[in-house]
């Protein structure tokens, strides 16, 4: 009897690896992989950078700290948030924010403590102030300008194209004749 091709190959590999108890090992590996994958996929978006010993005992405070640091830029790796970054400095800033919250700071006070040291640059969401008006309002302004331009263009084009005049009797007769010809 001929074995299906895949099976022969699998048997060959098993022989090659020299695993007598291969099925058990393979099953174990598969189950482990499945569990790890499942855990990875179902855990809430955990930032792996935050170390267990950094966390505050009070879950409410910890949640506030997470929210604050998620909106702070890590100044070493400038496109990551402090919450996500593994940089040493991000670790220090996480601890600073948590320390301040524990000392009774409000969210904005804790955030300000970091801004005082590193400037507005650490805010991933820059403040609205005269220096950032262009940043905040240019997209809206450009959209309005583009919209106005488009509207103007479309209205002018609509005005230019004349409505087609209805066919008169002679034209109608000629069109009918042409259509009849086409059928023949």
Partner 1 sequence: MRRLIYLLPALLFLVLAGYFAWALRPGYDPQALPSALLDKEAPAFDLATLQGGGTLSRDGLKGKPVVVNFFASWCVPCRIEHPLLMRLSQQDHVPIYGIAYKDKPEDAAKLLAQMGDPYRRIGLDQNGRTGLDFGVYGVPETYVIDRDGHIRKRFVGPLTPEQVRDELLPLLQKLAAS
Residues forming the site for partner 1 (CB under 8 A): 75-76, 78, 88-89, 92-93, 96, 115-121
Q: How far is the CB of 52 from partner 1 (least distance, A)?
A: 19
- Kindly tell me which of 116 and 181 has the beta carbon lying closer to partner 1: 116
Q: How far is the CB of 105 from partner 1 (least distance, A)?
A: 16
- Kindly tell me which of 12 and 149 has the beta carbon lying closer to partner 1: 149
- Kindly tell me which of 103 and 173 has the beta carbon lying closer to partner 1: 103
Q: How far is the CB of 76 from partner 1 (least distance, A)?
A: 6
CA dist., res. 72 & res. 60, Å (int): 19
Task: For residue 1, give the 3-state DSSP assignment.
Answer: coil
DSSP assignments along 155-177, one per residue: HHHHHHSPPPPPP-HHHHHHHHH
Q: How far is the CB of 5 from partner 1 (least distance, A)?
A: 57
| Ordered alpha helix ranges (H), 21-161 | 22-42, 59-70, 88-102, 107-118, 133-160
Phi and psi torsions of 24, nearest 5°: -65, -45
Type and span of the H or E element at 11: helix 5-17
- Kindly tell me which of 144 and 173 has the beta carbon lying closer to partner 1: 144
Task: For residue 10, give the 3-state DSSP assignment.
Answer: helix
Q: How far is the CB of 117 from partner 1 (least distance, A)?
A: 4
- The span from the first CA to the last CA of the chain, in angstroms, equals 69
- Kindly tell me which of 37 and 108 has the beta carbon lying closer to partner 1: 108
């Amino acid at each position: 009897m001929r074995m299906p091709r895949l099976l022969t190959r699998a048997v060959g590999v098993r022989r090659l690896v020299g695993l007598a108890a291969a099925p058990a090992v393979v099953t174990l590996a598969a189950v482990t992989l499945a569990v790890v994958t499942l855990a990875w996929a179902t855990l809430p978006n955990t930032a792996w950078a935050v170390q267990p010993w950094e966390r505050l005992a009070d879950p409410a405070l910890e949640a506030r700290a997470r929210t604050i640091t998620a909106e702070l830029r890590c100044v070493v790796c400038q496109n990551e948030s402090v919450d996500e970054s593994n940089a040493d400095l991000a670790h220090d800033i996480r601890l600073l924010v948590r320390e301040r919250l524990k000392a009774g700071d409000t969210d904005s006070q804790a955030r300000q403590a970091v801004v005082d040291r590193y400037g507005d640059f650490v805010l991933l969401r820059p403040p609205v102030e005269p220096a950032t008006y262009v940043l905040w309002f240019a997209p809206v302004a450009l959209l309005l300008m583009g919209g106005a331009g488009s509207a103007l263009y479309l209205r002018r084009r609509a005005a230019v194209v004349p409505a087609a005049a209805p066919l008169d009797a002679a034209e109608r007769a000629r069109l009918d004749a042409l259509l009849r010809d086409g059928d023949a």
